């Protein structure tokens, strides 16, 4: 029996038909608070994995829930028709912690639509990525023209600690000619994008100690340094006067080909009037391909109830984003050396690595990337996709490239500049989500038509 070939018009109608059910299933996923961070109830991740497995079984996939010392991931497979390529579709079902619930305008785990957007933790990052895959499979039904492997991870937001083991243990099951990593975003509402670079990551802790115990700030102040002031002075050495990272030995890049309008970046970042940008050079260079360093948190006595005492120790968590081409191990050595060298007043400085990850650059030439561009242009009514960098990190892409060196890797996503992933009031633009679903369906059809000339990932 010959598998029927669905046209672009057929796929448009099929995606439109499936969208109400896809949205309902997305809302069900959003209601599951699956957070892989320590201190949270990980039974919700079990529920989330089971829910994803059920969705994939509904698409006629052979499904397994797997783990390798970490949180559950889901693998679903459907073999390719004779001679057709296989496409791996990646997303993750875990989410970030919600932070201060008082900053949310609605319950983060009760999805709510406002002004054409669906609000909720994970509504964009990355449960919508899961449902975009499901939408494309539902649109094809029995007429799927390629083989598919869905790999839905369960601890991406927590650093993907067990992912490399999972990939190696299930390498044969995950092999594909094309890999679609649905964990990035689009350039703007109405403009799709292919992500071509991501920065690397080094997260670390620095602790400053000036004494063995707290002492009276009046009796000893003026001669004995407090650790909070010492830590503040140390942190201040990490940037120069312009705001560029001042750690020697880090790779710095320029040459971004897209401009980021200042007013748009200010709006999207929620910058206060009068707050200046930091760093030098084109804005897209600063946020995509130059190093960036931020203080994520400080351990110190809270202001409420703080005694009049000199603090003997203080600790900060730092996040260093690396330019493509830099090495995380070398970068960690550079920043650790900087912090130890610049210890103020002889304070004791201890630096500890939390985790790191490689940067990524993608060469987007070849028929599979042409297939993706054509799919995006079709879904966005003729608007060609922008090739953009992303300042964030997806370190596991390096492992995919190592294990499947011949596979074409496409980094796509459902987020837009107002999605606020990781922050309060995360949301998904429902109109753009519909385009993403259509784009993926057309992409699978285009990949089937292109064949395996650029594949060979298996």
Per-residue tokens: 142: 């029995």
Cβ–Cβ contacts within 10 Å for residue 116, how many?
12
Q: How far apart are CA 124 and CA 223, in angstroms?
A: 52
Rounded Cα–Cα distance for residues 405 and 386 (Å): 25
Residue 331's φ and ψ, nearest 5 degrees, are -65, -40
The per-residue DSSP string of 171-190 comes to: HHHH--SEEEEEEEE-SBTT
DSSP-assigned letters across all residues of 305-335: T--SEE--EEEEEEEEEE-TT--HHHHHHHH
The catalytic residue among 94, 153, 155, 177 is 94
Q: State yes or no: is 156 an active-site residue.
A: yes
Distant-in-sequence, close-in-space partners of 9: CB < 8 Å, separation ≥ 6: none
d(CA 326, CA 332): 11
CA–CA dist 53, 73 (Å, integer):
9
| Annotated active-site residue in 156, 177, 207, 432 | 156
**Any idea which residues carry the catalytic annotation?**
94, 156
């Amino acid at each position: 029996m010959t598998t029927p070939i669905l046209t672009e018009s057929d796929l448009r109608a099929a995606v439109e038909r499936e969208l109400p059910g896809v949205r309902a299933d997305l809302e069900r996923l959003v209601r599951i608070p699956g957070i892989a961070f320590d201190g949270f109830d990980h039974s919700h991740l079990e529920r989330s994995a089971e829910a994803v497995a059920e969705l994939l079984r509904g698409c006629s996939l052979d499904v397994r829930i797997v783990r390798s010392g970490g949180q559950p991931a889901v693998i679903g497979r459907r073999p390719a028709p004779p001679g057709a390529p296989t496409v791996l579709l990646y997303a993750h079902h875990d989410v970030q912690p919600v932070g201060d619930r008082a900053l949310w305008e609605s319950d983060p785990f009760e999805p709510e639509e406002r002004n054409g957007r669906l609000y909720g933790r994970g509504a964009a990052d990355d449960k919508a990525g899961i449902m975009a895959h499901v939408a494309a499979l539902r649109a094809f039904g029995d007429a799927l023209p390629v083989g598919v492997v869905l790999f839905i991870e369960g601890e991406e937001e927590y650093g993907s600690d067990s992912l490399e083991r999972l990939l190696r243990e299930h390498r044969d099951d995950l092999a594909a000619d094309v890999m679609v990593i649905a964990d990035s975003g689009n350039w703007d509402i109405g403009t799709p994008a292919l992500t071509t670079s991501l920065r690397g990551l080094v997260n670390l802790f620095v602790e400053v100690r000036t004494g063995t115990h707290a002492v009276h700030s009046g009796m000893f102040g003026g001669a004995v340094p407090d650790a909070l002031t010492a830590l503040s002075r140390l942190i201040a050495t990490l940037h120069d006067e312009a705001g560029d990272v001042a750690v020697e030995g880090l790779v710095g890049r320029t040459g971004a080909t897209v401009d980021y309008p200042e007013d748009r970046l200010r709006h999207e970042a929620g910058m206060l009037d009068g707050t200046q940008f930091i760093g030098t050079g084109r804005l897209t260079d600063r946020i995509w391909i130059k190093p960036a360093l931020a203080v994520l948190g400080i351990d110190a006595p809270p202001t409420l109830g703080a005694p009049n005492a000199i603090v003997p120790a203080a600790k900060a968590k730092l996040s260093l984003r690396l330019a493509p081409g830099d090495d995380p191990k070398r970068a960690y050595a550079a920043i650790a050396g900087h912090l130890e060298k610049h210890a103020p007043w002889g304070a004791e400085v201890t630096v500890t690595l939390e985790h790191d990850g490689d940067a990524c650059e993608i060469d987007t030439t070849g028929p599979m990337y042409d297939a993706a561009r054509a799919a995006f242009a079709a879904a966005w009514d003729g608007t060609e996709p922008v090739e953009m960098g992303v300042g964030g990190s997806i370190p596991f892409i390096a492992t995919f490239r190592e294990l499947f060196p011949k596979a074409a890797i496409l980094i796509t996503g459902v987020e837009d500049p107002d999605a606020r992933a990781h922050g309060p009031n995360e949301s998904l633009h429902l109109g753009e989500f519909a385009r993403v679903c259509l784009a993926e369906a057309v992409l699978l059809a285009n990949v089937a038509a292109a064949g395996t000339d650029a594949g060979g990932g298996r």
